[in-house]
Every structure is written in C-alpha cells, then in structure tokens.
C-alpha cells in the first residue's frame, strides 16, 4: 500500500494567516492526490482533486500543488470556518489511502 | 443534488456480523464509471478506506480486511450494502459511504456517517 505522511500533524494559526500542509507519498503517485476538509462531528468534504483542481464552490483561498511524492495544500488567508482537520488521499492505485490528518487550530 | 445516508445498527457485540446500508439519490449505479465506496473513522483517528463497488459489479476491498468484508449493490433500490463479519471493539468507528468515479477516484460528496460501537 502507498503510505501518505502529512506534516505537521497539527498547527496553531490565526485568522488571515497563510497556512500550508504537506503530504508526502511513499512512492511517486503522479498527481493522484485529493484533499478533504473535516470539521468536528461532520463528514469530510472534498476541496481539491488531482492535486490542484479546485472543486466548484470551494473558496479560491484553497490551492493545491505538487506532483510525484510531495504535495501541498495552502490556505492563503485563514478564515474562522477553516479551522478543521485536513486529509490527503491518493488514488494512484488500490487501495486508496489517506494521510493521518492535519488539525488546524486557533 | 447527490445525497447519501448510511443506516444500520448503532451497536453490535463482538464476533457478530455488521450490516450497513447506504441509500443514495441523485446518481445511478448503473451509469458507466460510477462507484460507491465505504470509509470508516475510529473516534479521534484517521480515515480508512474499506471497500468499493462499481457500476459493472467490480468489487475492491481493503487488503487487511478483505476476508471480513462483502459489498453488494441493488441498483433498482439505489442501495449499497456492506457486511463485516467477526466484529471487534477495534472496529468501533463512524462508517461513511460516498460515490466515486473510476477515472478520478475521489469521494464526493459523503454521507453523514453512522457511528457503530462494538461492545459486549
């Protein structure tokens, strides 16, 4: 199975801060990475697919980048509703795997 | 609008079999490329993919849980059923279902999830 390692595991930030989360894969996975946001007690929501494509309706302050083994989710100006846990997922091959999550706290 | 809802028991005993149903609307599992997957999340832990079934009845399972899982679909009822045998307390988790596409593989949107507790 392909392992995904997210860093940091948690971070503290303030409103309007720029935040970046890294996802590293145990092997090259091209651009087959997706990012999800999960707010406490809620189901995950898709933010970005194939590394850099923004899902329709997701604010443009969310951007994804990377290819190969290293990927980044960036929030350009953190908003109160962005405090949540973020997961990366690879769909390069079966089984699809998730990172361990990054919790963004105030 | 696509919606999904998971249903099933909230509690099962160790060694019992869990049966969960995902009932969905807004898409069809008879459409080429469409699939529905199950993902779980133990309390306070990360997401874990379990199983996936595609429109053509192709089925995929987590290698670590394959011997305990069965996924089926009823296209006419817009339902996908997941069974997991020999339940253990470590299987306590919120179980989600979500649609996917064979080309992309991402899950979107997700059902609200159902918490299953395994306890005697």
User: Over the stretch B59-101, which tens digit does the pLDDT of each residue have?
Assistant: 999 999 999 999 999 999 999 999 999 999 999 999 999 999 9
Within 10 angstroms of residue A61's Cβ, the number of other Cβ atoms is: 14
- C-beta atoms of B112 and A43 within 8 A: yes
Q: How does DSSP classify residue B61?
A: E
Q: Given A43, A95, A96, which is nearest B113 (Cβ)?
A: A43
Express each pLDDT in A41-78 by its tens digit: 999 999 999 999 999 999 999 999 999 999 999 999 99
Would an 8 Å CB–CB cutoff place A34 in contact with chain B? yes
Express each pLDDT in B20-63 by its tens digit: 999 999 999 999 999 999 999 999 999 999 999 999 999 999 99
pLDDT value of position B103: 82
- C-beta atoms of B46 and A43 within 8 A: no
Half-sphere exposure of A98 (CA within 13 A, CB side): 24
Sign of CA dihedral A38, B49, A33, B109: negative
Q: Read off the pLDDT band of B5 (50, 70, 90).
A: very high
Would an 8 Å CB–CB cutoff place A102 in contact with chain B? no
**Rounded Cα distance, B42 and B40, in Å:** 7
pLDDT value of position B67: 97
3-state SS, B107-119, equals: CCCCCCCEEEEEC
- C-beta atoms of B46 and A87 within 8 A: yes
Mean pLDDT of chain A: 97
pLDDT over 90 (residue A20)? yes
A&B contacts, CB < 8 Å: 54
Residue B56 tokens, joined: 């053509």
Q: Read off the pLDDT band of A23 (50, 70, 90).
A: very high
pLDDT value of position B104: 82
pLDDT over 90 (residue B102)? no
CB contacts of B52 in chain A (<8 Å) are: 96
Start-to-end CA span in chain B (Å): 40
pLDDT value of position A47: 98
**Rounded Cα distance, B20 and B75, in Å:** 16
Q: Read off the pLDDT band of A106 (50, 70, 90).
A: confident
Q: Which phi and psi (to 5°) does residue B6 adopt?
A: -90, 145
**Rounded Cα distance, B22 and B8, in Å:** 9
Q: Which phi and psi (to 5°) does residue B68 adopt?
A: -110, -10
């Amino acid at each position: 199975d392909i392992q995904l390692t997210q860093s940091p595991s948690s971070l503290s930030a303030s409103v309007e801060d720029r935040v970046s989360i890294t996802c590293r894969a145990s092997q090259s996975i091209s651009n087959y990475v997706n990012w999800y946001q999960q707010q406490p007690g809620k189901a995950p929501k898709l933010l970005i697919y194939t590394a850099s494509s923004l899902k329709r309706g997701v604010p443009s302050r969310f951007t994804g980048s990377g290819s190969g083994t290293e990927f980044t989710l960036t929030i350009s100006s953190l908003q109160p509703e962005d405090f949540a846990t973020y997961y990366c997922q690879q769909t390069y091959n079966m089984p699809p795997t998730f990172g361990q999550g990054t919790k963004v706290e105030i | 609008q696509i919606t999904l809802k998971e249903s099933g028991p909230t509690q099962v005993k160790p060694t019992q079999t869990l049966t969960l149903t995902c009932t969905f609307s807004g898409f069809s599992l008879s459409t080429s490329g469409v699939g529905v997957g199950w993902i779980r999340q133990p309390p306070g832990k990360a997401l874990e993919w379990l199983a996936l079934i595609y429109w053509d009845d192709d089925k995929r399972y987590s290698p670590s849980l394959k011997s305990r899982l069965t996924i089926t679909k009823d296209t006419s009822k817009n339902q996908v059923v997941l069974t997991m045998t020999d339940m253990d307390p470590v299987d306590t988790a919120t179980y989600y279902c979500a649609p996917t596409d064979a080309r992309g593989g991402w899950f979107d949107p997700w059902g609200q999830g159902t918490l299953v507790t395994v306890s005697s």
